[in-house]
Amino acid sequence: MSKALILAVVFLCAGQASAGSPGRLKDLESMLEHLRAGGEVRAVLDWGVCRLQSLKTFSETPARPDETADPRCRLSMHGKPPGCYYSSDNKLKAVSGMKLDTWEYFAPGFLGPRGYLSASAAQLISIRGFVLNYGSVKVYDDNSVAVKINYLKPAFEARPDPAITEETPLLLRREDGRETLVSKKLSQQDYLIVMDEMFTCEISSRSDSGGASFFAAD
């Protein structure tokens, strides 16, 4: 079973669906209106319809399209740029759900050209041992949806990348147009990323090919 299938099956299934037939929310505007009124929103994600974006393997001598020499793409790095991922085959036949409990909205121009709604959650799961499953959903004003999933382990129990010393690079410093890795010594309170996947979808208006359905769950 592929790691992407495993992560999709267990992704943050938060609670049971509410009784009755919840109203479908067909765009970001209707979602925000409902949330601002204090309502609850649930996401239903059809992974087989979404597009899988896998993390490229870091290599000092990349020889394949799924490899890169960019140090920002190391598995341990946070805030990886889009170029660290590539479109891979998605044969998933799985559906997951998530309640948007904690959310934020950023208007266009505040953090980028597009406005978006962001929600995230973390849940302890058991996949060949216990890991913290962190997932974030971003719904953009063009009705596209990005889902990012990380498995996290405490630094003291996670096996580090053989190419990384005890001083694991976690930050980048930018000076005079140049980027320099800044190392941060790990402590027992730190978490290491041990799996990194992304999915891209669109808001589904009904039984279409969007992949991401949102419902007013009140």
Domains of the chain, residue spans:
3-216
Average pLDDT over residues 157-175: 53
Confidence of residue 4 (pLDDT cuts 50, 70, 90): low
Confidence of residue 188 (pLDDT cuts 50, 70, 90): very low
- Percent with pLDDT over 90 in the chain: 54
Q: Indicate the DSSP class of residue 72.
A: G
Q: Mean pLDDT: which of 113-127, 167-181, 198-212 is highest? A: 113-127
pLDDT at 58 over 70: yes
The confidence score (pLDDT) of residue 186 equals 54
Average pLDDT over residues 146-157: 86
Alpha helix stretches (DSSP H) within the chain: 3-10, 28-36
Other beta carbons less than 10 A from residue 141's beta carbon? 17
What's the farthest any 2 CA atoms get from each other in the chain? 58
pLDDT at 117 over 90: yes
pLDDT at 32 over 50: yes
| Interatomic CA distance for residues 48 and 180, integer angstroms | 38
pLDDT at 112 over 80: yes
Confidence of residue 21 (pLDDT cuts 50, 70, 90): very low
Task: Say which range, 51-60, 71-80, 187-196, has the weakest mean pLDDT.
Answer: 187-196
- Percent with pLDDT over 70 in the chain: 73
The confidence score (pLDDT) of residue 79 equals 85
Residue 65 has φ and ψ, to the nearest 5°, of -60, -25
Pairwise pLDDT comparison (194 vs 159), residue with the higher score = 194
Confidence of residue 217 (pLDDT cuts 50, 70, 90): confident
Average pLDDT over residues 48-66: 93
pTM value? 0.74
